[in-house]
Chain A
Amino acid sequence: MQKFEAGASIDGFELVERLQSGGMATLWRARNPKFDFPLLLKIPFLDPGGDVSVILGFEAEELILKRLSGPHVPRFAASGSLAKVPYIAMEFVAGVGLAELTNGAPQPPDEVARIGAEIAKALAALHRQKVVHLDLKPENIILAERGAVLLDFGLARHAELPDLLGEESSVPMGTAAYMSPEQVLGERSDPASDIFALGCILYQLATGEEPFGRPATFAGMKRRLYHAPKPPRDIDKAIPRWLEAVIVRCMEVDRSRRYGEAAHVLSDLRNPDQVVVARKSTPSNEWGWGAIRNLFRRTDEKSLVGKAANSAARAGPPIVLAAVDLASGSDALAGEVRNETARVLAARQDSWLACVTVLKTEIVGTTPDVDESGRLVYLQRLVALKDWARPLHLPEDRISYHVLEAVSPADAILNYAEHNDVGHIVVGARSSSAIRRHLGSVSTKVVARALCSVSVVRLKAVEEESRLRP
């Protein structure tokens, strides 16, 4: 095997400094004038006659990393031929390794939620690019200034590429402490597996304990199908119920109960008041009596983990934002926005609705809820919003309500949509008026600047006119 030293050059990359490396590859800081970002070279250990999984992992990472983009992955620079010197050159990402924070766990709940939201956002971006990481763990996450950055795609799976790694091996692949139950059973295609791993990380950050330890045997790993870890609040009562509810829902064995979308986890972590905690600490059978019942029931293990919701992702947006103007009560336009919202939601069973209405404030910095009358206006609007949504008959875990206070309704809607990874916005447009033509309407601005699809709902001109006539 070739030895590398600082100062050596590979395909124009000068090795600068060797970094702490894992068992599969050596990592080097590197320089190359062709690239205007800091570089890292990953050189796999390829012993003749060595473990073939090293080669397969290298192959998978090279295939997947070069197809990924965005702030939540290191930029791909170049790769070296397996026939000569195999390497992957990528961006060196500066930041805090999540492992440092899990080592310092438990962390305060607010911090857990903040970190969790960053990771969820990175996962949502990854899953949108049709990739499942399948080895999410603190060592593979860097908290950088630009957000969470995910590393090491050696076990990852791209939905449109052959799974050469998975087809070669029947043993579960991943890290025992964070591996989802369906991965333990050999499944390698469901984004929900990464959400399970995120749940394990949040559990560890919140409690300071690893939920499943680090089992070394297959039987040990399979325990997680039958035995739920201690609910987080059994370890520390200071953990808020809502945070426990989010963690537990990430870690559901049955995927029909688990979050199906990282964007939904993100939204719950950012909006604690919207998390459904009615189920307390035993939200499903697996977390309590169910576990005992399972001991006496011979079940097909595959049926425990439920079905992957893969096809759902193509059917429609996971999170729909309905922006409804209730300043003058629930009018015909608000009703039409609701009808359109219902149609968008109908595209998929597990979609989820964020109802947003904006309470306009006159001056920046003045919040109406500081005084008693302001608080009252806020509550009235929230009641009106809930009343508006009632005919949709959505269960409470598919809907959330947000009264945003802002000078610019369009900015508030756009800001909310971006921060919560909304997939589709439904917004109403009033008929044209002199003032609106002068200032530009909310819907126009939303359409122009939204990062997702937008449906603009307008009443047919005749109806609007007749409605306005006294």
Chain B
Amino acid sequence: MRIAILSDIHANREAFDAVLGVVRKQAPDQLVLLGDLVGYGPDPVYVVEKAADLVEGGAFCIKGNHDEAAALGRTDMTENARVAIEWTRERLAREHFDFLAQLPLSLRSEDRLYVHASAERQEKWLYIRDVDAAERCLSASDARFIFCGHTHIPAIYYALSGRRPVHFRPLDNVAAPLSELRRHLVVVGAVGQPRDGNPSACFALLDTERREVTMVRVPYDHEETARKIQASGLPGWLGMRLKIGR
């Protein structure tokens, strides 16, 4: 079974479309949207409606902290994120809020758990930035594979029972092996706002038969997204960071 996992789209239409183009060619058996459809980017309506269409067609979709903030009007975020959420809320309609509000925090499918931030206290939106956080996330679930996003930086943690997980930074477009012996925590890179120094959009392609996961990189027209951010009055840094991938 092949599964495409898209995280942190962040209302970036150009990145989302470019990634969906590649996903269509790959023709996976399952599509998963791992949260944070909105926030930061200039096209929240487009992305939410597209996501709703995909869910209609059988895709899984879970909630991210920005989706929750947009739906509930939460403001306990960094300055840029808060400004962007307020901007987003002015543009979304009732049906968009409803769609975001009904998204589940996590979703279990066979031996795979999908959760936006961490399996540990899911509603707290914790970041998995080190082995300790990964270990706590892994111990909060018994799934063999946990897929998270949220950090915008790809990582894989390999866990053998009774031992500390091993961190690995997967290479772009190179399949990373998944072990029969171990449990895995895969942190998927971001579609709409990469922060690992590579501005190309990132999504994960899982192949359960080959026991491999690949961080696929897709170049897209980030100049156009940045231009829209500038034109719409969103904070300028949100466009700048797309160009440098930070």
Contact = CB atoms under 8 A, between A and B. Distances in A.
Given A162-B156, A164-B158, A168-B166, A82 B176 contact: no
Contacts of B166: 162, 164, 167-168
A161 interface: yes
A63 interface: yes
Interface string B164-187: 001110010010110111000000
Interface size of A as a range:
10 to 19
Nearest to B157: A162
Contacts of A81: 180
A161 B180 contact: no
A209 interface: no
Contacts of A168: 160, 163, 166
Contacts of A91: none
A55 B158 CA distance: 14
A83 interface: yes
Most buried by B among A52, A55, A161: A161
Nearest to A161: B177
Nearest to A63: B177
Contacts of B181: 55, 59, 82
A160 interface: yes
Contact of B174 (A83, A160, A164): A160
Interface string A363-401: 000000000000000000000000000000000000000
Contacts of B160: 52, 168
A83 B180 contact: yes
Contacts of A167: 166-167
A212 B166 CA distance: 33
Interface in B67-125: none
A446 B237 CA distance: 53
Given A160-B171, A160-B174, A164-B158, A82 B163 contact: no
A167 B171 CA distance: 18
A164 B181 CA distance: 12
A216 to B, nearest CB: 26
A259 B135 CA distance: 41
Contact of B179 (A52, A160, A164): A164
Contacts of B171: 160
B138 to A, nearest CB: 15
A52 B179 CA distance: 14
A384 B3 CA distance: 64
A168 B160 CA distance: 10
Contacts of B174: 160
Interface string A159-179: 011101001100000000000
B163 A162 contact: no
A160 B176 CA distance: 8
Nearest to B131: A167
A162 B168 contact: yes
Interface in A205-236: none
B180 A162 contact: no
A161 B181 CA distance: 16
A83 B176 CA distance: 20
A83 B156 CA distance: 22
B170 to A, nearest CB: 8
A82 B180 contact: yes
B166 to A, nearest CB: 4
A239 to B, nearest CB: 44
A21 B171 CA distance: 36
A164 B167 CA distance: 9
Nearest to B174: A160
Interface in A123-169: 160-162, 164, 167-168
A59 B163 contact: no
A63 B167 CA distance: 17
Contacts of B158: 162, 164
A81 B166 CA distance: 22
Contacts of B179: 59, 164
A84 to B, nearest CB: 10
Interface string A401-430: 000000000000000000000000000000
Contacts of A55: 181
A470 B163 CA distance: 81
A55 B174 CA distance: 24
Nearest to B168: A162
B144 to A, nearest CB: 12
B168 to A, nearest CB: 4
A228 B166 CA distance: 36
A82 B158 CA distance: 16
Contacts of B156: 162
Contacts of B168: 162
A430 B122 CA distance: 71
A417 B174 CA distance: 31
A81 B179 CA distance: 10
Contacts of B176: 161-162
Considering residues B163, B176, B179, which has the most beta carbons from chain A within 10 angstroms of its beta carbon?
B179
Interface in A94-111: none
A340 B181 CA distance: 52
A57 to B, nearest CB: 12
Nearest to B179: A59
B203 to A, nearest CB: 19
Nearest to B170: A162
Interface string A62-92: 0100000000000000000111000000000
Contacts of A160: 171, 174
Interface in A24-56: 52, 55
A81 B177 CA distance: 14
A164 B177 CA distance: 11
B68 to A, nearest CB: 33
Interface in B123-167: 156, 158, 160, 163, 166-167
Given A82-B181, A167-B167, 9 more contacts: A55-B181, A83-B180, A160-B171, A160-B174, A162-B166, A162-B176, A164-B158, A168-B160, A168-B166
Closest 6 CB pairs of A and B: A162-B168, A167-B166, A82-B180, A160-B174, A160-B171, A63-B177
Interface of B: 156, 158, 160, 163, 166-168, 171, 174, 176-177, 179-181
11 contacts: A59-B179, A59-B181, A83-B180, A160-B174, A162-B156, A162-B166, A162-B176, A162-B177, A164-B166, A164-B179, A168-B163
Interface of A: 52, 55, 59, 63, 81-83, 160-162, 164, 167-168
